[in-house]
Amino acid sequence: MEIDPLIKKAIQESCVEAGISNCSLPITKLIERFVSNELQPAQINSSLQAIYQLMKDSE
């Protein structure tokens, strides 16, 4: 399920403010899939690991 465009805008702005604008898309995807109940706990964990790695690489 797609989330509201205003929520996407909020995610983007929050990522920019945190200095990790390149993580905006994967975080948006994670939120979309989480809100639609698409993810099992194990899938959530692996998505998080990927995002953490991206965050590390941005620093």
Partner 1 sequence: MFVSISGWETKGLRCPDMNVSFEKTALKNQINLVLMPNGTGKSTIIELISTALTGNTLNSENISSFKGNDNLEDVGHFILHLKLSQEKDRVKSITFQLNFDFISNEINFFTKQDDTVGLEQGWHAPVALQPFLNNKCVEVFVFKGDKVAHLLNKERNDAELAIKAFFGISKIEDLNSSIEDDFQSRKKTGPQTSQAETQRKNVLFRWYERLKELEEQKLNVEKYLETIEKEHEQKKQRYEAIISGQKSNQVKLTELTSKKNKAISEMSSASIKMMSAIRNPMFISDKIQNKLLNLKQNLDKMKLPGTSIEFFHELAKQPKCICDRDIDKNAEKSILLNASTYLSDDHILIVNGIKKDIQTYIDKSNDQKDENLLDALKNASENFIQTNQLLMRHLNKIKDDATQDEKVVLDDWEMLTANIAKARQDLDGLLADDISERTASSGPESACNSVIVAKKVIRLREEELAEISNNKEDFYLKEKLKNIIDNTITKSLDFISDELKNKSNEKLKKILVRGTRLEILSINKSLQIGYEGISQKDASGGQSVSIAYSFATSILERSGIQFPLIVDHPVTALQTSARRGLGDNLAKICHQFIGFVIDTEKEGFLPALRESSKNLNLITIFRPIEGNIPYLQKLPKDSKLSVKTSNGVICSDYQFFEDFTDLNLAEGEKSVL
Residues interacting with partner 1, by CB under 8 A?
Answer: 1, 3-4, 6-7, 9-11, 13-15, 17-18, 20, 27, 30-31, 34-36, 41, 44-45, 48, 51-52, 55-56
Site of tokens 């953490």: 52
Pairwise CA distance, residues 13 & 10, whole Å: 5
Cβ at position 29, least distance to partner 1 in Å = 12
Neighbours of 26 (CB within 10 A): 16
DSSP assignment of 38-49: ---HHHHHHHHH
Cβ at position 11, least distance to partner 1 in Å = 5
Specify the residue, 25 or 55, whose C-beta has the smaller distance to partner 1.
55
